[in-house]
A and B are shown apart, each in its own frame.
Chain A
Amino acid sequence: AQKVTQAQTEISVVEKEDVTLDCVYETRDTTYYLFWYKQPPSGELVFLIRRNSFDEQNEISGRYSWNFQKSTSSFNFTITASQVVDSAVYFCALSDLFTGNQFYFGTGTSLTVIP
């Protein structure tokens, strides 16, 4: 079965702290894609990153970094030196490689950055 688990429902940090959002997935596919989306208080869903199952290289984009570990089926997201603008709900999602007809989203982690 395809499943994405985001065990952290809500996280609060003080501005400038680092924070890691966890994502654990289950899939029967050997090839797949993983995604992170951000949903700020305004409500829209914004794409952050995608990663294919072939590539376990970590990725860094400014203050954001992602750690993909196939051995533990995890795709964690770290925000360094958090800012108030990072306050949002973050979703991790899984898609099979070839059809991509069904994206499986986690339940989301609500991050609040306190100034």
Chain B
Amino acid sequence: NAGVTQTPKFQVLKTGQSMTLQCAQDMNHEYMSWYRQDPGMGLRLIHYSVGAGITDQGEVPNGYNVSRSTTEDFPLRLLSAAPSQTSVYFCASRPGQVPSGANVLTFGAGSRLTVL
């Protein structure tokens, strides 16, 4: 049981380049989300999805796109990378059982992105 798998673990980009951070989970979780972690800022929610075909914005969505075509995958796209997007990115998922707020988030190992 792999849990939540993120790729790549490390990436260096130049300003203006695009890339996709991949996230896959094998737990049949309905909810998936992306967070960024910056020093002194904790974890901030970028986008989330409550099921295939449904996505919504979190606290810091600007500069990022997401889609959810399958239950398993939730990729995060940076269309034109900026130095301000240098961060560690975490994908997290949880089951959809009600009440939803009770469900524990399971995190991936993180992806460290540097934008020069």
Tell me, rounded to whole Å, the shortest Cβ–Cβ distance linking A104 to chain B: 8
Q: Which of B27-67 contact A (CB under 8 A)?
A: 31, 33, 35, 40-45, 48, 50, 56, 58-59
Given contacts A100-B94, A103-B105, 10 further A-B contacts (CB under 8 A): A33-B102, A47-B104, A91-B42, A100-B101, A101-B48, A101-B50, A101-B100, A105-B43, A106-B42, A107-B40
A residues with CB within 8 A of B: 4, 6, 9, 32-33, 35, 37, 43-45, 47, 50, 52, 91, 93, 95-103, 105-108
Q: Which of A4, A100, A106 contacts B102 (CB 8 A)?
A: A100
Tell me, rounded to whole Å, the shortest Cβ–Cβ distance linking A3 to chain B: 11
B15 at the interface (CB under 8 A from A): no
Tell me, rounded to whole Å, the shortest Cβ–Cβ distance linking A39 to chain B: 9
A69 to B1, CA, bound (A): 37
B13 at the interface (CB under 8 A from A): no
